[in-house]
Amino acid sequence: MKVAFLGLGNMGLPMALNLIQAGHQVHGFDLVQSQLDVFKAAGGISVGSASEAAIDADVIISMLPASRHVEALYLGDSGILATANPKSLLVDCSTISPKVSQAVAATAKAKGFAMIDAPVSGGTAGAQAGTLTFMVGGDSVDVDQARPLLEKMGKNIFHAGPSGSGQTVKVCNNMLLGIQMLGTSEALRLGMANGMDPKVLSDMMSKSSGRNWVLELYNPCPGVMENVPSTKGYVSGFGVDLMLKDLSLATENAGDLDASVPLGELSRKLYEAHSKAGNGSLDFSSVFNLKVD
């Protein structure tokens, strides 16, 4: 199967490498040359544009930062919908607005393409290990067509419902994750201010009712866990600005529907303050160091 992979960043690159390892012919494009170099060295076919990668692809996968990048990639004058073959199945794995996702998929459908939204959870470690969770929105027939490929990159493939519903699940999940990271950081800092060893505190809370994913798998306090961003100077991982984007998606979505998300809104403001203090490109667990007067 020929796959076009567009967006080879922290997530896209390891996902594409898993497809190469599974024996697929993967043509990739990214705006950053160093990412393309790593992709090529691992057996990918690096090309000079998204539309070149998409030529004759059975499946076109995108993994881009935000809604505006996805709109530009698919809807632009020389975008995928204008240049690719409608026989290609379109799979957008980026985390974007459910509304934008539905609009892009509807335009794609009007031009004869099938498109699904398939955002992921599991972080860069899950992308590398091929254990991501995919939350998929779209028609069953298209989801079933994509499933064997998604299974090369992930362990759990959930069909959430019609177009855009994968994004809805992802937005809810990440709002909860952002809140969990702030709450876990706050509890750890309070314990440490009392003289507690953060590792002992984490171990005990992990066996108590404060137990959660951040505490057990992505501890924000440096030195508590190996192989997590906090222990590596908060580099790479899932950026503060990406979490800020996801919380903005959640609060915008809530605003559209008149749903109440006060903790989501407070969290968005706290990540925004952390980003404005110059931490936007650090991993989101660096919010552990946020001090609020």
Task: Work out which of 17, 36, 73, 171 binds ligand NAD, going by CB under 6 A.
Answer: 73
Query: Any catalytic annotation for residue 245?
Result: no
Helix (H) or strand (E) segment spanning residue 65: none
Applying CB under 6 A, the span of 155-163, 181-189, 203-211, 237-245 interacting with ligand NAD comes to: 237-245
DSSP one-letter string for 11-54: THHHHHHHHHHTT-EEEEE-S-HHHHHHHHHTT-EE-SSHHHHH
| 94 is a contact residue toward ligand NAD (CB under 6 A) | yes
Query: Closest distance between ligand NAD and the C-beta of residue 126, in Å?
Result: 8
| 11 is a contact residue toward ligand NAD (CB under 6 A) | yes
| 289 is a contact residue toward ligand NAD (CB under 6 A) | no
| 191 is a contact residue toward ligand NAD (CB under 6 A) | no
Query: Closest distance between ligand NAD and the C-beta of residue 121, in Å?
Result: 6
Which one of the listed residues 170, 199, 207, 232 is annotated catalytic? Answer: 170
Task: Work out which of 65, 162, 183, 210 binds ligand NAD, going by CB under 6 A.
Answer: 65
Alpha helices in 151-277 (DSSP H): 165-193, 198-206, 213-217, 240-257, 262-274
Report d(CA 145, CA 140) in Å as an integer.
Answer: 8
Task: Work out which of 118, 242, 250, 282 binds ligand NAD, going by CB under 6 A.
Answer: 242
Q: Which is nearer to ligand NAD, 65 or 183 (CB)?
A: 65
Report d(CA 242, CA 247) in Å as an integer.
Answer: 9
CB 52 within 8 A of CB 34: no
For the stretch 61-85, what's the b/e string if a residue is b when 16 or more beta carbons lie within 10 angstroms of its beta carbon? bbbbbbbebbbebbbeeebbbeebe
Report d(CA 228, CA 283) in Å as an integer.
Answer: 10
Which residues have a catalytic role annotated? 170
Which residues bind to ligand NAD, rule: CB under 6 A?
6-12, 29-32, 35, 50, 63-65, 69, 73, 94-95, 120-121, 123-124, 237-238, 242
